[in-house]
Amino acid sequence: MAVEESGDFAAAPDAFQRLWTPHRLVYIQNGQQPDQDACPFCLTPKNSDEQSLIVRRGEHAFVILNLFPYNSGHLLVCPYRHVDTYDKATVAETAEISLLTQQAMQVLQHVSGAHGFNIGMNQGQVAGAGIAGHLHQHVVPRWNHDSNFFPIIAETKALPKLLGQVQLEVSKGWAQLFG
């Protein structure tokens, strides 16, 4: 991995350094998008909560642990219906996604003492959506001093808890707070 300064090139320099990761080009070019009939967010609700890592089911949406989390407790809020962007979701779907996101924050504060959150949606493959065909909102818990260079240097993410353990804790926490 090489780091370059913008001042080394033509145009106006800026304050950013560039971390070049050419090994990611294959992922970007290939996209790794599943066919609609293989959409994990459509298939997952058909299995048990424990098997699917689902922590909460609503009427129009559900909450699942991210299989490739940025942090322990990284949740995804997904509508059951296969819809790709937020503007195509129904009012009922967006209302429940919003409610489940608020509840997810409260549950993660309750069970893990999260200090803050990154919340967002990457809509479309070009925007970085790992599963571009099915809308999902990320709820990533953050703690003071939780970031480090381990993922960049060692290409490894240190997660202190197993997914099954987190699924159980978050599910129990949700039941305690919201029945």
Catalytic-labelled residue, pool 74, 134, 136, 138 = 136
110 a catalytic residue: no
Q: Secondary structure of the chain: what % helix, strand, coil (to 5)?
A: 40, 20, 40
Q: Are strands 17-20 and 2-5 parallel, antiparallel or unpaired?
A: antiparallel
C-alpha to C-alpha distance for 55 and 46, rounded to whole angstroms: 14
C-alpha to C-alpha distance for 164 and 68, rounded to whole angstroms: 13
What residues are labeled active site? Answer: 136
